[in-house]
Every structure is written in structure tokens, then in C-alpha cells.
A and B are shown apart, each in its own frame.
Chain A
Amino acid sequence: MNAPRVLRTLVVDDEAPARALLREYLGAHDDIAVVGECANGFDAVKAVPEQRADLVFLDVQMPKLDGFEVLELLDPRPAVVFCTAYDEFALRAFEVNAVDYLLKPFGRERLAEALARVRERLAAGTPAPAPPATALAAAARPPGRWLERLLVRDGANVHVVPIEKLDYVEAQDDYVAIHAEGRSWLKHEPLAAVAAALDPDRFVRVHRSYVVAVDRIARLELYAKDSRVAILADGRQLPVSRAGYTRLRELM
């Protein structure tokens, strides 16, 4: 057997004392190398690939992006151990394949247990198949509530599109193009996943490839038999299929 593999580890928490505690506890484990600390979600999204982190200790409630949103934006995903004072996220954490869920305050023994689980998970060879971003987005959303913002990676940066700003979403092969405020961003996700996370009272799938915010539609025009176009407030035209037209009529 080889010497145990050293795990490149990132600590992500917006509170300095919480980061210091993890650093102190982790110092006792030879196979853990803390390669960085992040105080917010944006930094974490940048640092994980930059540092090629194998393991991330992730707080849930942080400025800008919460822990689940950070995870949604990471590809490939490292092993994740959530650390939070809130027990209500535990179920969601395991739905997104977190290795463990530490409740603050926790002690050395509990952390050692979590690390044992991490080693086990990583030793099992290929990490457990990462759930699709869809599942992550769904888990990041409290039950009974619709998506409130879309997150897009823009190089090393993260762009947050509040749902109120969203005009429409368009399928492009394996990606969706997110159109808002006259700009657009590409996100690696199937359109069906985005459509399912949007409030059905405000967004309608008017076509196989388009989901549009109903209040952005200025008017509908008949284009050919059984096919229409939706003309948006800014003049853009989107195709409307027959099924899409039925769905629209139900809502309007």
C-alpha cells in the first residue's frame, strides 16, 4: 500500500473563529493539508478548482452564495462536509451527497469521525456519482418555494441573476442560455431542470426550447397554422408551439 493520500482541504466559513477552530482541529491529522480558507461563497467557487481541493468544509449560511449554491457551481465536486449551527439543512445536505454534516459546536472526535467517512468515501475509488445540478438546485431550494435566483459561472466569477430580472431561458444543446437585462449567460444544465424549478405561475414553457416569463410577453401573433410567435416587450420574438399556446392560455 502507498502512504495515505494527503487530502487538499479548504475551509469555507464567514466567521473567522469558526475557520480557526477547524484549522486547529485539522492540524492533528497528518493526511489533511489545509490549502486555503474562504470567507464567502464567491471565493469558495474560485478557490476549489484553483487549489484542486479534494475536501471542503462548507458553512451553509454565508454572504452572496450559500453552501448549497457553492456546491451547485462546482464541477467536478470535491468531497463536502457541511458545518452549520442549523440542523434543518441536514436532509438536503445528504440529498446532494455531502459526506457528513457537522452541527456547531462540535468537538475533535466528531470531526475525526467525519474525516474517517471522507477517507472511506474517497477510498471507494471514484467519488460517488455527483447528482446533477438539477438535484442540487432543487435541494438548495427550501421545499415549497420556487427558485429565487439563477447562478451562472462566468469564468472564475459567479453571476447571480435574480428571477425578477429573468426574461426567458433557451435550450442550446446541453446548455441553457439565460436571458436577462439584455444580456445572456450559458449554464450547463438541461432546460427541463430549469423549467421545473421556476414558479409555474410566472414562467411558461412556450416551446420545446423556450421558457418565458409571462409578464414579458407583449402580444402573440399567428405565424402559421398552429404556430404562433410571442413578441416580448423588448421586441424579441420567440416561437410558441401548440402545446405551449395551450399552457399560455391557461395562465393568461
Chain B
Amino acid sequence: MHPLFAHVRGLALYALAWLLAGVAGAEIVRLVAPQPFGGALAFAAPLALVFGFIVLSAWWVCRANPLAPGRLGRAATVQAGAAVQAAASWAVAGLLWALLLARRAPGWTARPLILREALLLLAAGVPIYLGSAVVHYLVQAFEASRRAERRLLQSEVAAREAELRALRAQLHPHFLFNSLNSINALVGSDPEAARRMCEGLGDFLRRTLALGARDHVALSEELELVECYLAIEQVRFGDRLQVERCIEDGAGACRVPPLLLQPLVENAIKHGVAGRIEGGTVSLRARRNGDVLVLEVENPVDESAVARPGAGLGLENVRRRLDGFGPRAARLDAERGPEYFRVTLTLPALGAGA
């Protein structure tokens, strides 16, 4: 449907404009085929209205033949053909209308000039139709730019939402609740430790927000965030949580997406160490092999433990963060052994300055 048909008032105005054009048309008809004004008007006004609707067909023709580079010639040919066709159908309609008028009101107006009138319609129809095509192209270009703008806005909103979701997942509410509970406990027994933990928690949150707002960070910065996180978990888990770090020289300067390792360490504690009575050791390894950076997080698992719901979600988030490197440029491998779980990230080693 032509968009004009969706607006009753617009449609009425449009029809009115064409009727007025019909009045002007009657004068032109009188120039080509001299006759009384009444007869010329009876002939011209309805035909003007009819052609007003015929030229709307340009909307479909324009849509089917957009003005794309390399297709301009084709569009011009199609439009010219459509213009001739529209003008011809108008001329035929004019011919029939004139014959009808001549037969029904023979006394009122004599119409010896029918052929001339039809030729006039044919001649005028082509430029009028082409004008309509130009207007339609303009309207469609305007709408396309509005659509593009809306799409851009939508994709921006989607990106922000994704960021927020990631952030919310990051600031795992249960981690906060449990940390607050630990602080609550320390306030009674060791106020100094409670203060330190408040400070640590604040530090962790601030770093999470700061790193999360950036596109990439140095691995060393991500590792500092992980240390903040571990310091808090250490209070909750005490001796049950041990950490082993093996960060090779040259790895720390590599560029990584922010919040890449911290969720993996969180998983290692939540689904690994926390599920074992005796706790265990989380191993953090980073090494650079030429132009490849390899990061590993490994934790022991209880052999009787069943996967808790949500265990795969964190990994999925991390995997999505790796998509930024491009298809197949980086990958995440998860391996579950009889008594351990290991996640290995392999990504391009990009220097911090590169």
C-alpha cells in the first residue's frame, strides 16, 4: 500500500490539489482545443483526479528500482517506460471520457477536438509522471535515512544492554551478599579486618567499573582485579582457598578484553573449591608463545559434585568476550578431568601499545 492511503486527511488534500490542477488544466485544454470553459472543466477535472492516482504507482516502481550506483541506467529506462505507460493509459481514459461526455451531453458541448485532447494528455502525462517519480525517490531516500538512524540507535541500545548485562553478571549479587555477611561477622570479632574488607570490596567494585568501561586492558591490570577479588574470597574461605600463580614475563603487557579472567576465577571458586570440604588450589597461568597468549585457570572439583545450574553461563559470557578478536582468532577450551576443571584461553598476543 502506498503510505498516502494510511492518512485520510492527507489523501483528501491530495485529491483536492489534483481537482484544482484540473481547473488549471481546463484552461490549458481550451488553449489546445478552443471550447466553452464548462465543457473543458467537465473533461479536465475528473481526468486530473484519475491521473493523480495513476502517478502514485511511481511509489512501487521506485521501490523496485532504487537509485543504486551502477543501476541508474536501468532505473531511468524503467521509469521512462513507466511514464509512457502511465501517460498512455491516461490518454486512453481521456479518449473514452470525452466520447462518453460527447454522447451523454451532446447538446451541452460539442466535442470535435477529442483527438487533440488525448494527444495533450499523452504529452503532459510523461513529465508529470516523471516528476512524481522524483518526489517518490526523495521521500524514499528520506525514509531510508531515518530507518538507518533508528537501526544505529537500536544497535547502540543493544550494545549498552549487553554491557550492562555483563556488568551485572560481573557484580554477582551473591558474591556481594556473602561479602557483606563476612564483613558483618568481622565487625564483632575483628573490626580492623572488617575495615580492610570494606576497603577491599570498594577497591574491587571500583576497578570492575573502571575496567569494564574500557575496550581492552593490559593483562596485568586484569590480574590486579583478580587479586582484589581473591583477597575478598580469602576472608570467606580462609585456608580452604589456596592460589598458585604462574605469570611468565611478557604476558602481563598483552592486551585483553576487560573482565576476562575474573569470571573464570570466580567460577573456579564457586564450582570448584567451594564444593570440596578440604577446599583446594586455584591455579592461574599466563604465558606468551610468540604471537599467541595462553591463559589457564584450573581448579580441583569434587568427584561427586553435579554441575550446578548456571555453571555454563559464565563460560558463555567469557566466550562472547573473545568474539571481539574476530572469528576463530581466539578460543576457549574447557576440560573436565576426574578431579579437576581447566579453562584455557588462546588469543592473539597484542602488545599494549600495538
Q: Is there contact, CB below 8 Å, between A21 and B174?
A: no
A61 CA / B275 CA spacing, docked (Å): 8
Interface residues of A in 88-112 (CB under 8 A from B): 103-107
Instruction: Using A15-B237, A85-B177, A104-B177 as known contacts, say yes or no to A24 and B304 having CB atoms under 8 A apart.
Output: no
- Nearest CB in chain B to that of A160: its residue: B304
Q: Given the complex, which residues of A lie within 8 Å of B302, measured CB to CB?
A: 63-64
Q: Given the complex, which residues of A lie within 8 Å of B309, measured CB to CB?
A: 142, 145
**B302 vs chain A, min Cβ distance (A):** 6
Interface residues of A in 6-47 (CB under 8 A from B): 14-18, 20-21, 24, 39-40, 42
Interface residues of B in 108-141 (CB under 8 A from A): none
B232-261 interface mask toward A, CB cutoff 8 Å, 1 = contact, 0 = none?
000111101000000000000000000000
A63 CA / B273 CA spacing, docked (Å): 9
Q: Is there contact, CB below 8 Å, between A64 and B178?
A: no
A4 CA / B28 CA spacing, docked (Å): 112
Q: Is there contact, CB below 8 Å, between B277 and A63?
A: yes
Name A39's contact: one of B181, B184, B277 (CB within 8 Å).
B277
Q: Any chain B CB within 8 A of the CB of A148?
A: yes
Q: Is there contact, CB below 8 Å, between A20 and B189?
A: yes
Q: Given the complex, which residues of B lie within 8 Å of A40, measured CB to CB?
A: 277
Name B304's contact: one of A15, A21, A105, A162 (CB within 8 Å).
A162
Query: Chain A interface: which size bin?
Result: 20 to 34
Q: Any chain A CB within 8 A of the CB of B344?
A: no
Q: Is there contact, CB below 8 Å, between A149 and B304?
A: yes
Interface residues of B in 261-320 (CB under 8 A from A): 274-277, 302, 304, 306, 308-309
Q: Given the complex, which residues of A lie within 8 Å of B275, measured CB to CB?
A: 63-64
Q: Is there contact, CB below 8 Å, between A24 and B236?
A: no
Q: Given the complex, which residues of B lie within 8 Å of A148, measured CB to CB?
A: 306
**A203 vs chain B, min Cβ distance (A):** 17
Main secondary structure of the interface of B (DSSP, over half): helix
Instruction: Using A15-B236, A21-B185, A149-B304 as known contacts, say yes or no to A61 and B274 having CB atoms under 8 A apart.
Output: yes
Q: Is there contact, CB below 8 Å, between A15 and B182?
A: yes
A213 CA / B44 CA spacing, docked (Å): 88
Q: Given the complex, which residues of B lie within 8 Å of A16, measured CB to CB?
A: 238
A149 CA / B181 CA spacing, docked (Å): 31
Q: Is there contact, CB below 8 Å, between B277 and A17?
A: no
Instruction: Using A39-B277, A61-B274 as known contacts, say yes or no to A103 and B177 having CB atoms under 8 A apart.
Output: yes
Q: Given the complex, which residues of A lie within 8 Å of B276, measured CB to CB?
A: 63
Q: Given the complex, which residues of B lie within 8 Å of A145, measured CB to CB?
A: 309
Q: Any chain A CB within 8 A of the CB of B343?
A: no
- Nearest CB in chain A to that of B309: its residue: A142
Name B236's contact: one of A17, A86, A160 (CB within 8 Å).
A17
A20 CA / B238 CA spacing, docked (Å): 13
Interface residues of B in 208-242 (CB under 8 A from A): 235-238, 240
Q: Is there contact, CB below 8 Å, between B178 and A15?
A: yes
**A77 vs chain B, min Cβ distance (A):** 23
B149-187 interface mask toward A, CB cutoff 8 Å, 1 = contact, 0 = none?
000000000000000000000000110011011111110
Q: Given the complex, which residues of A lie within 8 Å of B237, measured CB to CB?
A: 15
Q: Is there contact, CB below 8 Å, between B189 and A24?
A: yes
Q: Is there contact, CB below 8 Å, between A85 and B178?
A: yes
Q: Given the complex, which residues of A lie within 8 Å of B236, measured CB to CB?
A: 15, 17-18
- Nearest CB in chain B to that of A85: its residue: B177
Q: Is there contact, CB below 8 Å, between A104 and B180?
A: yes
**A17 vs chain B, min Cβ distance (A):** 4
A77 CA / B353 CA spacing, docked (Å): 63
Q: Given the complex, which residues of A lie within 8 Å of B304, measured CB to CB?
A: 64, 149, 160, 162
Instruction: Using A20-B185, A64-B304, A160-B304 as known contacts, say yes or no to A14 and B274 having CB atoms under 8 A apart.
Output: yes
Q: Given the complex, which residues of A lie within 8 Å of B274, measured CB to CB?
A: 14, 61, 63
- Nearest CB in chain B to that of A104: its residue: B181
- Nearest CB in chain B to that of A24: its residue: B188
A204-232 interface mask toward B, CB cutoff 8 Å, 1 = contact, 0 = none?
00000000000000000000000000000
Instruction: Using A24-B189, A86-B174, A149-B306 as known contacts, say yes or no to A18 and B277 having CB atoms under 8 A apart.
Output: no
A14 CA / B277 CA spacing, docked (Å): 8
**B105 vs chain A, min Cβ distance (A):** 81
Interface residues of A in 44-96 (CB under 8 A from B): 61, 63-64, 85-86
What 6 A-B pairs have minimum CB-CB distances, sorted nearest first? Answer: A21-B185, A85-B177, A17-B185, A104-B181, A105-B181, A148-B306
Q: Which residues of A contact B (CB under 8 A)?
A: 14-18, 20-21, 24, 39-40, 42, 61, 63-64, 85-86, 103-107, 142, 145, 148-149, 160, 162
27 contacts across the A-B interface (CB closer than 8 A): A14-B240, A15-B236, A16-B238, A17-B186, A18-B178, A18-B181, A18-B185, A21-B181, A21-B184, A24-B185, A24-B189, A39-B277, A42-B277, A61-B274, A63-B302, A64-B277, A64-B302, A85-B173, A85-B177, A85-B178, A85-B181, A103-B177, A104-B177, A104-B178, A104-B181, A145-B309, A160-B304
Q: Which residues of B contact A (CB under 8 A)?
A: 173-174, 177-178, 180-186, 188-189, 235-238, 240, 274-277, 302, 304, 306, 308-309
